[in-house]
């Protein structure tokens, strides 16, 4: 009986398994999908991540901000919920459905930075 040498280094199967798990983790999308979103969303595409939950959002446009503020100006949580659901592109739906994750994102300074637009200098001429 002939003994054959394995053609792979020890641990290769484990590395491939971990790589496959990482690629199929909730919220992971392909670069192709990100490129499609970038084509459709000229205001940018952003990946958000917390405790293994990954999602993708775009920056809101002025029509969306105006609509949300006009309808929900007295309810900040509902305002953010409407904004967030409309800028959500895809990923782990747990971010949208889990109150702790959603509220943490809603109150995060990083999300505020994404929603911020350039400030202009105003002077009398």
Per-residue model confidence (pLDDT) at position 53: 92
Q: Tens of pLDDT along 92-104? A: 999 989 999 988 8
Per-residue model confidence (pLDDT) at position 94: 94
Instruction: Map residue 17 onto helix, strand or coil.
Output: helix
Per-residue model confidence (pLDDT) at position 90: 95
Q: How far apart are CA 68 and CA 125, in angstroms?
A: 35
- Residue 90's contacts (CB-CB under 8 Å, 6 or more residues apart) are 27, 29, 33, 37, 55, 56
What separation, in Å, do the N-terminal and C-terminal C-alpha atoms of the chain show? 94
Domain chopping of the chain, boundaries: 23-115
User: Does residue 46 contact residue 57 with C-beta atoms inside 8 Å?
Assistant: yes
Per-residue model confidence (pLDDT) at position 63: 93
Place of tokens 């309808």: 71
Ranges of the chain with pLDDT below 70: 1-25
- Residue 102's contacts (CB-CB under 8 Å, 6 or more residues apart) are 81, 84, 95, 96
């Amino acid at each position: 009986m002939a003994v054959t040498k394995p053609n792979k280094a020890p641990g290769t199967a484990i590395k491939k398994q971990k790589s496959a798990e990482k690629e199929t983790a909730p919220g992971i999308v392909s670069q192709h999908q990100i490129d499609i979103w970038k084509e459709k969303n000229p205001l940018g595409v952003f990946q958000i991540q917390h405790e293994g939950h990954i999602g993708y959002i775009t920056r809101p446009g002025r029509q969306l901000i105006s609509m949300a503020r006009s309808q929900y100006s007295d309810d900040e949580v509902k305002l953010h919920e409407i904004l967030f659901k409309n800028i959500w592109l895809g990923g782990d739906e747990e971010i949208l459905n889990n109150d702790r994750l959603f509220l943490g994102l809603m109150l995060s300074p990083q999300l505020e930075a994404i929603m911020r637009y350039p400030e202009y200098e105003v002077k009398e001429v």
